[in-house]
Structure 1
Amino acid sequence: MEQSIDDSILAYGTVLDRRGLMMGSLLTLAVGSPICAKMAAAGSHIDGLISRMTVEEKAGQLSCFNDEVRPVGAVFNPVVNAQGAEAQLAAIRAGRIGMLFNGYGVAGARRAQDAALASRLKIPLLFAADVIHGCRTIFPIPLAEAAAFDPDLSERAARAVARETAAGGLHWTFAPVVDVARDQRWGRVAEGAGEDVYLNRLLAAARVRGFQGPDLRLADAVLATPKHFAGYSAVRGGMEYAAVDMSDAELRETFLPPFAAAFAAGAMATMASFTDVGGIPATANRHLLTDILRGDLGFSGVCVSDYDADRELIAHGIARDEADAARLAILAGIDMSMQSGLFNAHLPALVAAGAVPMARVDEAVRRVLGLKAKLGLFDDPYRSLDLAVERRETQSIAVRTTARDVATRAIVLLKNAADILPLRRDTRIALIGPFGRDTANLNGPWSFAGKADGIDLATGLARFTDTLSVEPGSAVDAAIPGGIDRAVRAARSADVVLLAIGEAGDMSGEGNSRVEIVVPAAQQALAEAVAATGKPIVVVLRHGRALALHGAVRDANAILATWFLGEATGHAVADILFGRCEPRGRLPVSFPVATGQQPWSYDHRPTGRPAPVGEPMKPGAAHWRDAADAPLYGFGHGLSYTRFLLSDLVVRWRGPSVIELTVVVANIGERDGSALVQLYIRDRVASRTRPVRLLKQFRWVAVAKHEKTRVTLSLSRDELALVAADGTWRVEPGDFDLWVAQSSDDSGLHGEITVDK
């Protein structure tokens, strides 16, 4: 996989000056060209509207509310400021609402847009939603998609989702989540791309490109919203909505680069984090939302608050009342208030009292109206509101085929002792566990408009075998009377047990932090009882995070990480189990030995007292008494149905700014397959301590059985940069270790390079 110019961004102001790049692009447009003329006309129209707007109408454009005209029934947040459909339509006609979110369907959207066009200024509405991993057709959760390690696949998936989303009457998605997540206790790990900065950067840009397509004005384009700005995933103890404290260097090196990549890919919206960041909640944090977001990152789009987050400034203890909360939010850089209604209720009086400058209000309104112009809504307010398109694109063959492709690519084979997989079709199988016939938990968290009607495991397996018995054995987190006894009998009559266990759909996602990230006790007891039969066990995990596996689950003959795969679950898992498809997924998060290791990531910094290799418990060295400082399965890990061997590493400079590495990849197994070749680096001596390893490149290579091929990886010198001790981004001269490996905990092949001044 070759790097693109967007992929080379390390963080703001490093490789590319994004503002300079944007200005350069604008200057290449010929004066008087159609694009320039359209941009000028839109700007003139917006200025004219702002000059005619009352402060109440301006506040309305900066206010968005849960769509009660076309509700979908899913509730993800506490109910606040409920209005009812008729009251909401009246507010739209009065110019008091600029956007509706989390509604679905063209007919209702047209009704709401009719109301907007009956307002005094006829400013069209925006329609948005939390389309996190599919709209009507539910795709794998983003963490599962990240396991494919394939930006092209992620872009294709986002494009398919965008087509269906726009067809349902939506212009804007509150995705992708680009929070780098190192603590698996945090429920929203499920919504992002895992623990690595580089993979997050690539997938952030890919998903933005996929959602938005080549032109935001096209009817199937959906505005992307990289979120949550910034540092949300570093919450204390992995607890949802808790406080965040980190160094400036950590923010800049770890949490901002995916945002920079998303903005460079064209994202024109972002959402502020719920959390307190360094003692100041993001919603009121001017340093974060203005100095860094606008100044350092050069972002010029719309910053929307999270749900009711401005009102929550009172609970945080930094706002005296609702008016004070509204003042703090808009002055910090929030352009649009979500659900609280505080901008509508208080901005006019705040402006009148001089507490909020009208210029700041106009700035926010100009951004919101500019977004509507970029989406083509002033030219066609009914863009993406076509009933015929809705019928054609909703759950189309194309979108469902893509969902199945992603689901198959997302599955990670963690363990396969004695090559128990793939299964033979004549194998007598006992499918045991609460997820054997389950459809309620296929989708996982944030399937806002989806239905629980996907393909369960039993249905998927039935295509390959007619010797299948199914027993739940237990519920997700409770015993079933007689359940274990029936499961044990089924296991004794089978050749192989498929143990379908893990998390329920509501155990991951927003508001679902876990103190112990383990298989629930009732299912663990089931696993131990079934293992006592001595039959071979294949664990089929369902989960939204990395789990700490214990006992019979950890010791099973084979383990598949299948995440929440959405509607195609049964087909995708069966295709892998029976060898119709090769397992290609790799872990975007490290599976810990125990929950107590959290937070943990492969790219941790070294200690001054490292435990010697082979002596993890040496006195006076850094260690836990009861676990190694290592994962059960590390980032990048994943097995295939064949085996690969890396050899003959060559490292050299190609010119002054590119490091070229070549390696031979040999398939030494009995099946064709694909290897994921991963490149890691370490800066040996630097002005700040450096991670023990950092992923900087990867590439998929297809190799036929008994064949080998030479692979080339290219690494830009700029990828060696760090936030130095003096706070500047730069490449420091010195020696660097390089590893080409098949996972972060694989020793791989070692090379080195020296960087001169």
Structure 2
Amino acid sequence: MKNKLIILFISFAFLGYSQNKDTKKAAPLKPKAEFVAELMAKMTLDEKIGQLNLPTSGDITTGQANSSDVAKKIEEGKVGGLFNIKSVQKIKEVQRVAVEKSRLQIPLLFGMDVIHGYETTFPIPLGLSCTWDMQLIQRSAQIAAQESSADGINWTFSPMVDVSRDPRWGRVSEGSGEDPYLGSQIAKAMVTGYQGNDLAKNNTILACVKHFALYGAPEAGRDYNTVDMSRIRMYNDYFPPYKAAVDAGVGSAMASFNEVEGIPATGNKWLMTDVLRNQWGFKGFVVTDFTGINEMVDHGMGDLQTVSALALNAGIDMDMVGEGFLTTLKKSYDEKKVTLEQIDKAVQLILEAKYDLGLFQDPYKYCDTNRAKTEIFTKANRDEARKIAAQSLVLLKNDKNILPLQKSGTIALIGPLADAKENMAGTWSVATKQENSISLLAGLKDAVGTKAKVLYAKGSNLDYDPAFEEKATMFGKTLHRDNRTNAELTAEALKIAGQSDVIIAALGESAEMSGECSSRTNLEIPQAQKDLLNELLKTGKPVVLVLFTGRPLVLIEESKTVSSILNVWFPGSEAGYAISDVLFGDEVPSGKLTSTFPRSVGQVPIYYAHKNTGRPLSNKDGNFEKFRSNYIDERNEPLYPFGFGLSYTNFDYSNLKISSDKMNFHQKITITVDVANIGNYDGKETVQLYIRDVVGSVTRPMRELKGFQKVLIKKGEKQTVTFEISIEDLKFYNSDLQFVAETGQFEVFVGGNSNAENKVSFNLVN
């Protein structure tokens, strides 16, 4: 017994621990490099490989931390972290197994998909991006870090920064749209929000940029599918947001499922080592996506041992779920297919992340039950979520100024998304308690109180096909399918519509119609809802379409027939309140689209920063021209362009000026524009600046976003908005993948969306 106590004392002294009943707090640790090196010197090869293993929490529930299969592996030193385990109590039990029962007492990482909030849920990322407000976006990540860290989580698999120009792809909902410049600003804001300026604080968490790389450009818009593009396009259009996250100090990165240049990203050394580490200087660790290593077998890259070695050699450090590293790396090492140096490098990076998080100082630093009781889903957090959600909503149409509505008379609220609180948080809201979300019906009733009457009818199911609805309402996000006939549902809707002064139609997608493995070939509102909407329009009453969606939809019919369209995405846990705030004018809509809305799915992929062809249309009306680049059955332009969004007020742009018509490589030039609020409401306008490089050594986009400012302008007032252009704004990757600016003419466009017509020009000279 005495010898056992001596051994235990030496072990804890080495790690810097001093133990009491409920926690282990450390004496000051040695510097990170020295500490990690000394710890690794004590590790066996099996223990090193164990640090590279990231299983899901699996069968662990409260009270089973000592008996589950995962717990046994933790005790044996075969686990480096866990994910999808929630609550301080569970996490503390599991962490205790790691730091009290394993040989070296190395603490675990605890990860979760905290994508757009924790229990306080913000708009889906695509909606959040439509705020164009980096402070709000950073604040949403900060609150998510505060709440998740209070519940034991110290690592999030976010931000997702994949550029996507194909709305068929369901995961467009998780990203920030089609533009690399805007996506880069959002990537930086999210990383800063999660990680703060000190990971050792107990209210910050490790961020993970994903999915590296190019995941947003799969063939046919089908999830997990092949991606194939030129390197010049990678560097100019798809890489920038990943690099921005790296530049912001993101602590980890996740490999994507898709192949890149014929090699799956998970085994692609050019991506993971040459680009990510050698070119960009990434210092964190790389984790696979869920079973990403194993899936390379189906890609045709070899058996599990082969693909596991391929992944490690490429630069992958941690294996999520698949246990390819755990079960094959030792054999590969014995057969000289991997080296100890490669294994050690991966282990070092993971241990360094744990050190930075302060887990060696206090393994239970995220297990404060008082924080869990007082910092999650607080009124203050929900109030901020409500404000942020209101700014994510995009007003697409508002004929005759139907909106804002008056809090008077009788309002008919009709549609399958009207009383659907389980869907308000949207996709990838794994920590949200759906029962706490505010439905549109609840929000409207709260907003009007006794001043107006709100009548409700479901009107239709999500879709005529119950099997489709089942696929679209997974993970507890039911729409409570109504078994009445379609005629009965319509009759009830028309009855209350007849009693109303205005109709709000709550239609669109359910939360799980977008997101992972939710690709679509039809981008229209489901037919059952379109039929309902047409019946409501026949009443002659004004109809406001409140559109729920996780992607750009095709809205040709609706844009012609409905009085007003308010695109609300999925606004989060405070959805009903935020939507009502905008509907009644307590908040003036200020959201701007970050993804182009097509007129037809046949236009996809469609995006504003396209290149010209050698045979562009010669007319500006979009009329068909033979032997020109166009369609015979549809126009070229989208229904709603990137950057578009209406307000309850109107903004007038004038007096666009440039400080000089020439600029050299060491100068900056200034662009100014006057923006006047000529309407009846105070409002926020996102002023956008686009640049066109007129002549280049390679073909260049028609225009590219290079600056934006969201400004509050009171009614009747005018502001001068100033932009500064530097040489960095003019650079691009040429055919040799050199990041250069080239002399010549540049055009600058400033306005309220990507079709801005106000233009000035300058020349870049040596």
TM-score normalised by length of structure 1: 0.92
CA distance in 2: counterparts of 1:44 and 1:142, whole angstroms: 40
Partner of 2:289: 306
Distance 2:61 2:545 in 1: 39
Give how far 1:70 is off. Answer: 5.1
Picking from 260, 276, 280, the partner of 2:243 is: 260
Counterpart pick for 1:87 among 42, 66, 69: 69
Alignment match of 1:193 (pick from 176, 183, 196): 176
Which residue of 2 is the match for residue 218 of structure 1? 201
Sort the Cα spacing of 1:151 and 1:348 in 2 relative to 1 into closer, same or farther, 3 A: same
2:392 pairs, out of 410, 418, 437, with: 410
The CA distance in 2 between the partners of 1:420 and 1:700, in whole Å, is: 25
Shift of 1:557: 0.6
1:588 corresponds, among 571, 581, 594, to 594
1:505 aligns with 2:511: yes
* 2:761 aligned to which of 728, 736, 752: 752
| 1:232 aligned counterpart, secondary structure | coil
**SS of residue in 2 equivalent to 1:355:** coil
Quote how far apart the aligned CAs of 1:553 are.
5.8
Q: Please state if 1:546 is matched with 2:546.
A: no
Deviations 1:369-423 (A, max 9, x none): 0111111111111111111111111111222122112111111111101111101
CA distance in 1, matches of 2:545, 2:434: 23
Q: Unaligned regions of 5+ residues in structure 2, if any? A: 1-26, 466-483
Matched AA of 1:517: L
Partner of 1:114: 96
Q: 650, 674, 686: which one pairs with 1:676?
A: 686
2:424 equivalent in structure 1: 442
Matched, 1:624 2:631: yes
Measured against aligned partners, the alpha-carbon deviations of 1:486-513 in whole angstroms (never above 9, x if no partner) come to 2122222222110100001111101110
For each residue in 1:619-665, what CA deviation from the matched residue of structure 2 results, as whole angstroms up to 9, or x when unmatched? 11111112211111111111111101000011124884322111111
Q: Give 1:46's match in structure 2, choosing from 36, 39, 45.
A: 36
2:707 is aligned with 1:697: yes
CA distance in 2, matches of 1:174, 1:104: 15
CA deviation after TM superposition for structure 1 residue 555, in Å: 2.4
Residue 33 of structure 1: aligned partner = none
**Cα pair 1:531 1:552 within 8 Å, conserved:** no
Question: Mean Cα displacement is larger for which, 236-245 or 250-259?
Answer: 250-259
Closer, same or farther: CA 38–388 of 1 in aligned 2, 3 Å: closer
| CA distance in structure 2 between the partners assigned to 1:192 and 1:693 by the alignment | 22
Q: Following the alignment from structure 2 to structure 1, what is the Cα–Cα distance between the partners of residues 396 and 122?
A: 22
SS of the equivalent of 1:736 reads: strand
Residue aligning to 1:180: 163
- Displacement after TM superposition at 1:727 (Å): 2.5
- Aligned residue number for residue 634 of structure 1: 641
Per-residue CA shift, 1:117-140, capped at 9, x if unaligned?
Answer: 121111111101111011122211
Matching residue of 2:727: 717
Partners of 2:66 and 2:629 in 1: CA distance? 58
Could you tell me which amino acid in structure 1 is paired with residue 97 of structure 2?
A: A
CA RMSD, Structure 1 to Structure 2 (Å): 1.7
Residues 1:281 and 1:675: Cα distance change in structure 2 (over 3 Å): same
- Structure 2: distance between partners of 1:569 and 1:307: 30
The SS at the match of 1:198 is: helix
Q: Which residue of 1 aligns with 2:742?
A: 732
Q: Identity of paired residues, percent?
A: 40
Per the alignment, residue 475 of structure 1 pairs with: 461
Query: Alpha-carbon deviation of 1:347?
Result: 0.9
The letter of the residue matching 1:496 is V
Deviates more, 1:390-399 or 1:185-194: 390-399
How many Å separate the matches in 2 of 1:614 and 1:455? Answer: 44
Aligned partner of 1:431 among 404, 413, 419: 413
TM norm structure 2: 0.91
Whether 1:652 and 2:659 are equivalent positions in the alignment is yes
* Alignment: residue pair count: 710
Q: What is the letter of the counterpart of residue 760 of structure 2?
A: G
Change (3 A) 1:433 1:410: same
Mapping of residues 458-473 of structure 1, within 5 Å: 458-462=441-445, 463-464=447-448, 465-473=451-459
Give the Cα–Cα distance (whole angstroms) in 1 for the partners of residues 165 and 61 of structure 2: 35
SS in 1 for 2:153: coil
Q: Per-residue displacement from partner, 1:651-705 (whole Å, max 9, x unpaired)?
A: 1248843221111111111122122111011000001111111111011222221
Q: Does 1:516 align with 2:502?
A: no
Instruction: Please state if 1:68 is matched with 2:55.
Output: no
Q: 1:45, 1:106 → 2: CA distance?
A: 27
User: 2:649 & 2:392 partners in 1: Cα distance?
Assistant: 18
State how far apart, in whole Å, the 2-side matches of 1:552 and 1:392 are: 45
Distance between the aligned counterparts of 2:654 and 2:32, measured in 1? Answer: 58
Question: Are the structure 2 counterparts of residues 188 and 304 from structure 1 closer, same or farther at C-alpha, using a change threshold of 3 Å?
Answer: same
Asked whether the equivalents of residues 60 and 70 of structure 2 are also in contact (C-alpha less than 8 Å), the reply is no
Question: Pick from 377, 386, 391: which aligns with 2:373?
Answer: 391
* 8 Å CA contact 1:69, 1:103 repeated in 2: no
Alpha-carbon offset, residue 85 of structure 1: 5.9
Match of 2:495 in 1: 489
In structure 2, do the counterparts of structure 1 residues 386 and 83 end up closer, same or farther at CA, with 3 Å as the change threshold? closer
Distance 2:265 2:65 in 1: 27
- Do structure 1's residue 609 and structure 2's residue 615 form an aligned pair? yes
Preserved CA contact (<8 Å) 2:256 2:289:
yes
Aligned equivalents of 2:311 and 2:537: distance in 1?
A: 56
The answer to whether structure 1 residue 158 and structure 2 residue 134 are counterparts is: no
> Secondary structure at the residue paired with 1:634?
coil
Structure 1: tracts of 5 or more residues without a match: 1-36, 73-81
CA offsets per residue over residues 313-365 of structure 1, 9 Å max, x none?
Answer: 1101112x111121111111110000011111111111111111111000100
CA deviation vs aligned residue, 1:199-241 (integer Å, no higher than 9, x gap): 1000000000000112000001111111100100010011000
Are 1:457 and 2:440 an aligned pair?
yes
The one-letter amino acid of 1:670's match is N
How far has the Cα of 1:45 moved from its partner? 1.7
Residues 527 and 553, structure 1, Cα contact 8 Å, conserved in 2: no
1:743 to 731, 753, 766: 753
Partner Cα separation in structure 1 for residue 308 and residue 226 of structure 2: 21
Residue aligned with 1:449, SS: coil
Tell me the amino acid that sits aligned with residue 724 of structure 1.
Answer: N
1:478 deviates by: 2.3
Aligned AA (1:619): K
* Structure 2 CA distance for partners of 1:358 and 1:83, relative to 1, 3 Å: farther
1:561 aligns with 2:571: no
Q: Distance in 2 between matches of 1:384 and 1:349?
A: 36
CA distance in 2 between partners of 1:40 and 1:590 (Å): 52
Q: CA separation in 1, counterparts of 2:622 and 2:166?
A: 26
Per the alignment, residue 330 of structure 1 pairs with 312
Alignment CA distance shift 1:253-1:42 (3 Å): same
